[in-house]
Amino acid sequence: MRPLAALTAVVLAGLALTVSATAQTNQSITASPKTVKRADIQTVRGRGWPVIEFCSRTIRVAVRSPQNLVPIAQRRVRTNGRFSFRWIPKNKNVGKGQWRLVARMRCESGKDGSTIFVRASTRITIN
């Protein structure tokens, strides 16, 4: 009976490690091409975003400069933790220069229910 209990404990510990590693995956966002003209299409992709009960499945994406923050998209994260969309930087609030593409997801703390934002960003250039 003891070997069975030990085997069960090992299996349960392995499952706990797998679940915690999945919950702590690093989310990322990429843009292709990194440098884009104002009238060209840029593809934005995200991966590794949490798909768990206390996180919203909606990602909000914006471009940020030292002076501006311009929302550009709101997308639903698929069950595999990924999202993608295309956008054209031809917007009166988005000028030429260096920008940071920022994605944000709203989650709740597992301890007290307070709001936590999961974020990822990358630099882009608009010509």
pLDDT in tens, 59-82: 999 999 999 999 999 999 999 999
3-state DSSP call for residue 22? helix
CATH of 26-126 given 2.60.40.1930, 1.10.10.10, 2.60.40.1260, 3.40.50.720: 2.60.40.1930
Look at residue 77 in the predicted model and tell me its pLDDT: 98
Task: Quickly state the pLDDT bin for 8 (edges 50, 70, 90).
Answer: low
pLDDT in tens, 22-56: 445 699 999 999 999 999 999 999 999 999 999 99
* Cα–Cα distance measured from residue 73 to residue 94, given in angstroms and rounded to the nearest whole number: 14
Q: Where are the domains of the chain?
A: 26-126
H-state helical runs in the chain? 2-23
User: Is there a contact between 82 and 43 (Cβ–Cβ < 8 Å)?
Assistant: no
User: Is there a contact between 70 and 104 (Cβ–Cβ < 8 Å)?
Assistant: no
**Model's pTM, two decimal places?**
0.78
pLDDT in tens, 56-65: 999 999 999 9
61 contacts: CB under 8 Å, gap ≥ 6: 29, 44, 71, 72, 73, 74, 75, 85, 101, 102, 103, 104
Look at residue 88 in the predicted model and tell me its pLDDT: 96
